[in-house]
Chains A and B, each alone.
Chain A
Amino acid sequence: MNQLTLLNILIIFEAILLLVLSLIVFSLKKQSSREKNVVKSDTTVLKEDFLPIIVHEMRSPLSIINGAADLLVKTTDSLSVEQIHTLLNQVKVSSTTLLDMVGSILDISKMESGKFELNKKMSNINSVLDDECSYFEPLAKIKEMSLECTSNVDIPDFSFDPDRIKQVLNNLISNAIKFSSEKDKVTISARKEGNKCVVEVCDIGVGVPEEEKQLLFQKFFQTSNQGGRKGTGLGLFISKGIVEAHGGKIWVEDNEPKGTKMIFQIPINTN
């Protein structure tokens, strides 16, 4: 491992830190001006919670990047090649996590200020489903789970934002896999109901308690049966924002005989 490579790693690390700090300062200023002008309501209380929670969530990947960089700098000569690869890969993984979080914050910021925009184009929902299933296939394989993707040829190409719908599916499928046991099955399907496209992601995992179903799409909400599984509690909130920006809706139902059925529908607009 030469000094130049390490220097590059540290420069990237510093850039990420600066980005995060800038974001935090920006959020603080925004929150401060909001507090001066807006009468407090339940919604603003929720907004005030945002900063400490997201900062807490960011500390884990930042600490890991910091720790890996510290080892790479202080113990370069003692590390084996495999250990260097492990640490560098960890910097990459944690940086990606951090960037995803920054992306989520920006999405939420845009949604809450009414500036969230879609990039709609004529697209095929079956292709989006197939892409997502292929993406999650390796993860499902690790858990010895089966991922069943059912296409529906009756659904014509229609106008939606395929990247944003992929983001919704990404969140729903990763949750379904996360809350399922080994060898469970996750089913993803799409169907046409009138002028609406209905997409379902079903699992046979732990399910969502009845009293928590209404809270599931709130910012930072985590179900009581997480069982130590970690998450930011932002994914479903953003998914709801994306689906609603399409003029659709998203909800949760029990999957019979067990598990969860996450459903969203968006209008089929072929113009």
Chain B
Amino acid sequence: MPKKIMFVEDDEGFYNIFSVPLKMKGYEIVRVAEGSSAVEKIITENPDLVLLDIVLPGTSGLDILKELRERDETKSTVVIMLTNFGSDENISRAMKCGANDYLMKYNIVPSELPDKIAAYLGEPQEFAVKMTES
């Protein structure tokens, strides 16, 4: 079974460039494009890791993170913030709320993201054949 990653990201461009290398490495990616339904979907999908943006339609990533940490089903799920907002205040708030890591979209090239994920999930089994899913 491939490891499952929930990617909470409203910007299709960022979703496309970050999901491609993860899919190539064999992770299963499930996207949530807005904030209000994210917690329920994360509970239903029960992913191994959540990539979470901060500015989202509906509910902010920080509020989603807080709720995930309050719920028994998700209090120990690995959550990595992946955002444009790199202020000390935002990083501090996210880490206090229980984020496992905080990555800046500008500072990480997509091909390096799988290595960051592997630090939490271990090396995925790479696909022997070319992925056909975009």
**Cα A90 to Cα B132 with chains together (Å):** 18
CB-contacts of B43-74 with A (<8 A): 55-60
Per-residue A-contact encoding for B1-42, CB less than 8 Å = 1, 0 else: 000000000111110111011011000000000110000000
Is A80's CB under 8 angstroms from B109's CB?
no
Contacts A60-B13, A75-B21, A78-B24: A229 and B57 contacting too (C-beta < 8 A)?
Answer: yes
Residue count of chain B within 8 Å CB distance of chain A: 31
Is A68's CB under 8 angstroms from B134's CB?
no
Is A90's CB under 8 angstroms from B110's CB?
no
Is B60's CB under 8 angstroms from A75's CB?
no
Residues of B within 8 A of A (CB): 10-14, 16-18, 20-21, 23-24, 34-35, 55-60, 84, 105-106, 109-111, 130-134
Interface pairs (15), CB distance under 8 Å: A59-B84, A64-B13, A64-B17, A66-B109, A67-B17, A68-B16, A75-B21, A75-B24, A75-B111, A80-B132, A86-B16, A87-B16, A90-B16, A94-B13, A228-B58
Residue count of chain A within 8 Å CB distance of chain B: 28
Name the contact of A78 in the complex, choosing from B60, B84, B130 (C-beta under 8 A). B130
Nearest residue, chain B, Cβ from A61: B13
Is B60's CB under 8 angstroms from A67's CB?
no
Question: B21: which A residues are within 8 A, CB to CB?
Answer: 71, 75
**Cα A56 to Cα B55 with chains together (Å):** 14
Question: B131: which A residues are within 8 A, CB to CB?
Answer: 80, 83
| Distance (whole angstroms) from the CB of A110 to the closest CB of chain B | 29
Is A70's CB under 8 angstroms from B57's CB?
no
Nearest residue, chain A, Cβ from B104: A63
Nearest residue, chain A, Cβ from B127: A78
Is B57's CB under 8 angstroms from A86's CB?
no
Nearest residue, chain A, Cβ from B131: A80
Name the contact of A93 in the complex, choosing from B13, B35, B58 (C-beta under 8 A). B13
Name the contact of B24 in the complex, choosing from A66, A68, A79, A93 (C-beta under 8 A). A79
| Distance (whole angstroms) from the CB of A230 to the closest CB of chain B | 7
Question: A61: which B residues are within 8 A, CB to CB?
Answer: 13
Name the contact of A80 in the complex, choosing from B11, B58, B134 (C-beta under 8 A). B134
| Distance (whole angstroms) from the CB of B9 to the closest CB of chain A | 12
Is A83's CB under 8 angstroms from B84's CB?
no
A36 within 8 Å of B (CB atoms): no
